[in-house]
Structure 1
Amino acid sequence: MNKARLALVTLIAASSLLTAACETVSTTQSGTVGVDRKQNMSPLVSSQQLDQQASLAYSDLIGRQAKQGDLNPDPAQTARVRRIAERLIPQTAVFRPDALKWNWQVNVIRSPDVNAWCMPGGKIAIYTGILDKLKLTDDEIAAVMGHEIAHALREHAREQASEQTLAQLGMLGAALAGAGQNTVNAGSQLYQLGIGLPHSRRQETEADRIGVELAARAGYDPRAAVTVWQKMIQLGGSRPLEFLSTHPNPESRMRDLQQYAEKVMPLYLQAKKH
């Protein structure tokens, strides 16, 4: 067996052994949308560790944005976003009751970027760029925020960190087996195409589905998740092929969102009665 093949075999074997050593966990209950995939988490990456790191990183970021005058620049806009968050957060108990005890924080950051995120432990930021450029309605803000909250509920950051740790250890094993740098790089690319990117797209789909349920239970129209993507397409911008992307393409995403929005419509209609 030549060195290149030996390195790739070693990479696969090392990754398999390390994956077997992972903990198989269910981070959330499945909800109406039925997100019930078991997740492999490395014992080298703990929830507590990531939560602490996220809290420190968030505090640092918020402090810097405040000094620059870019934190919550419009009080009315911030109040609007936080009001929506206050309706969404109680719904997280459907997926994981312990989330109600998280130290949730919600802030708006002045930035032209069309972006929003939720760190582990419930640290949320929404940029003015996505609010202003897409002219988001309350229902659409709920869709965006619900999606980001879902990432935190499912501990996707921990899952990605676990996968990256396994990949790095696997490549180290390949290097120790005598592989050259080119072969190790090729193994890394194969890992990304075969495992890393598909897993990331699956996480995005899970967040989409949980997000529409959170929105519906909070009394926001889940179909707004589709209109968000319609606006994103109209905004324009280049995108890679789906199999080379961390995200599903918008057309695939909208079809899935439409299906699951219809699935949770009874929850929305029930919430509207109260």
Structure 2
Amino acid sequence: MNDVVFEITDLQVYYGDHKVLDRINAKIKQKCITAIMGPSGCGKSTLLRCLNRLNDLVQSFSMKGSIFFEGQDIYKMKDLNQYRRKVTMVFQRPNVFPMSIFDNVAYGLKIGGIKKKEILKERVEIALRKAFLWDEVKDKLKKPAVQLSGGQQQRLCIARALAIEPEVILLDEPTSALDPIATTNIERLLETIAQQYTVVIVTHSMGQALRISDQVMFLYQGRLIEYGVTSEVVKAPNHEMTRQFLTGKIG
């Protein structure tokens, strides 16, 4: 069985004349956590956004190379909505909608055509349980989502993503605005859902990448310097630049 979800081939990304990513080649495996780490401005978020085609919305964006998802070139796909139901995204700051907790989680289900209340209730509860949030909100599902704490809002966004039953969850620095306790809750959640979903996370925290990831990608100045099993990269990096980053000499 092929365990490769994404295959990135000779990817080069430009914003105008500025090259942001330079000849990225990688294969991302299913049902594990892949962390993308590196200094600020190295292209981490750009790479993640390429996996969901969010850079299409940037007028100056252009690219060369290919990204294949389960063997299909995603930049040749015409039905982006269908693709994004399989590959969903959670952003740096919780983007809860101005509606109830229940309606936030049910939003994607309703857009997908599910109208029956019993099915919606069941799917919302399952998603909230997967996001470790059900026990905290089960008695206030009709309350505005904005009343939740920052950490709860981020778990709500993850529940909303899980509700549509995707295959891949992309997260762009999901804990950068959270306190240590909320960060720990998100990390525990990601480790759990990676048993069922493929997780790709951009992180500003080297410690976070080392704590939770199975595979790690180290980017520097737009180039993929090292990619491999996290424990092996930490123990014996192949590149001096990786060693310097891990020891805090660059970053």
TM-score range, shorter chain: under 0.3
The TM-score, its normalising length taken from structure 1, stands at 0.24
TM-score, structure 2 as length reference: 0.26
Larger relative contact order (Cα-Cα within 8 Å, sequence gap ≥ 6): 2
Question: Which is higher, the Rg of structure 1 or of structure 2?
Answer: 1
Bigger helix fraction: 1
